[in-house]
Structure 1
Amino acid sequence: MKDVLIIVLKRLGLGLITLFVISILIFGAVELLPGDIAEAVLGQGATEENVAAMRKQLGLDRPAPVRYLDWLSGAVVGDFGNSLVSGSNVSEVIAPRFANTLFLAAYAAVIAVPLAIILGVIVALLRNSVFDRVANVLTLTSISSPEFFLGYILILYLSVKTGYFPAIAKLSSDMSLLEVLHRTFLPALTMVLVVMAHMMRMTRAAIINLLASPYIEMARLKGTPAWKVIVKHALPNAWAPIINVVALNLAYLITGVVLVEVVFVYPGIGQLLVDAVTKRDFPVVQACCLVFAATFILLNLAADVGSILTNPRLRHPK
């Protein structure tokens, strides 16, 4: 257990270092944008006095390293400053949008994860059959198709032509859970089609790799049924790579949701990021990017820890 704790602490330390480097890149990228931020906020008709006052208000009259340290110290405690457009606290703006994104990601994960594992096991058992070949073609097609393309296809056939689901995922506080699930089904299905295909292929590969192991052959020679060989012998040893790919795809569900939210006008953090970029609301842009980075690093850490806990060889590297 001590070895596992040491490994987890090392991974956490590397994650914090990575997040620190990413924060420098985010701040530096905004600094390198062409033009003056104060002029961009005020518009071309602003006077020099107004621009100077805005630069002082935004702290642009101070050196960049000082402004970065102020921004980072505030971000550590959840204070990302105020929006340049609305004047609202950025954390208060992001919080409900991030909750919506987490809900959409959880909705897609609840559908995608069990389906991907079950179908991955089935296609592994039916390797080289017609079902396996058809599944491979469909999964490759799904993986190769951009999210916005899948989203528009789903809108065309499930919204425009049939009217089963709304094309715009507009939410309100007075909706019941069933109404929310109905309105967000199309964006969730779009994400399911992408991540489920990847998880299913990785599950299939992990199971097929283990089916060639000597202990699996011994179990077959003893007359163990095929389903029991998979469930009791192959699947427990395949959990490490499966958990790893599931965690990485969950990270994608949260951080790669920007295009899906834009297509369906879903009020999540991805849509907020696009709106902030359009309006040049840089505090919101920086905060959204940092939240995405922290979420991705945290879920990667969860994938590493899950792989370690489910694999004795990683738990006891000696």
Structure 2
Amino acid sequence: MKEKIILDAHFDMLLDVLAFRRRGERSVLERRFLPDLRAGGVNVVVCSIFILDELLPEGALRNALDQISALRADLDESPSFALCVSARGCREAAASGRVALFLSLEGVEPLGRDILLLRVFYELGVRLVGLSWSRRNYACDGVSFDEAAPASSQGSLTSFGRELVAEACRLGMVADVSHLNDAGFREVCDMLGERGLPFIASHSNCRELAPSPRNLAEWQLEALAAAGGAIGMNAYGPFVAVERRERTPETLFAHLDSIIKRYGARSAGIGLDLCACLESLSGGYDEGGDTDLFKNHAEAGERFIKMIRERLSADDADAVLGENFLRVFERVIGQ
């Protein structure tokens, strides 16, 4: 029997892996992450390489390489995890009881404006590329977190951004449009459409239900679904609902349900973006909903993943919980 995949398409765990290893800890993955992932049933994680503002611009490349180096060192001590560069490798890891990890750039600041570095990151195992993290870089503009800000700016992709998307397609890297502004989204969609390739929004919700510019408008959801892509439901409270009292798993499921009713179960996934459990990022978990809906993957499993299993058919639940993202990976990255 094929192992069921539960894939979280966005987790900034590498920041903590690096931070704790610098303090002398070992087997960080096994000690600090494995128990909650097991409890939540999550067996595939896309690890984002995110660069803190204070490291920009000069420290971006060094810190990205440090994160990858720390991960690889920790993998030597954490046999329950496996770094994967293909869908087949992911399935094999899950079948053997390990947690499969993929690497993704969350913003291309580590590249500067040097396209040759994209191949370097590919060779180091990176298979997904998020062009932006809500800030401007040499490739594009990110979208603001501020509800009062315009949903899109005047700037689309730069010439370097278009070169980068083309090179990512050539190498076989999945494009991720979460955090990208509307104009950039449209251009990525057009470029990948010409090549017949799907793309993803790893951690975004529906702008119609929660009007943050970080969420996707209906035209974006439609375009992403038409391309054969998937959008991962984000558990960050302000992206779930405007009112704090409505920042609940039930409301997050409403985002998922809206996508399924409009575009089918093959267009949705989960990209929980849990940050409150990360020492490197968080001010702590807030039960009132100002941060994450779930304090860790164990709670996400009990309060959201279980809900998906209970409310959707078995096939639709399998699709949403992992198969949709893996389908995109198979198409772009390869078997």
Compute the TM-score of the two structures, normalised by the length of structure 2. 0.24
Q: Which has the larger radius of gyration?
A: 1
Q: Comparing both chains, which one has the higher relative contact order based on Cα–Cα distances under 8 Å and sequence gaps of 6 or more?
A: 1
- The TM-score, its normalising length taken from structure 1, stands at 0.24
Higher-strand-fraction structure: 2
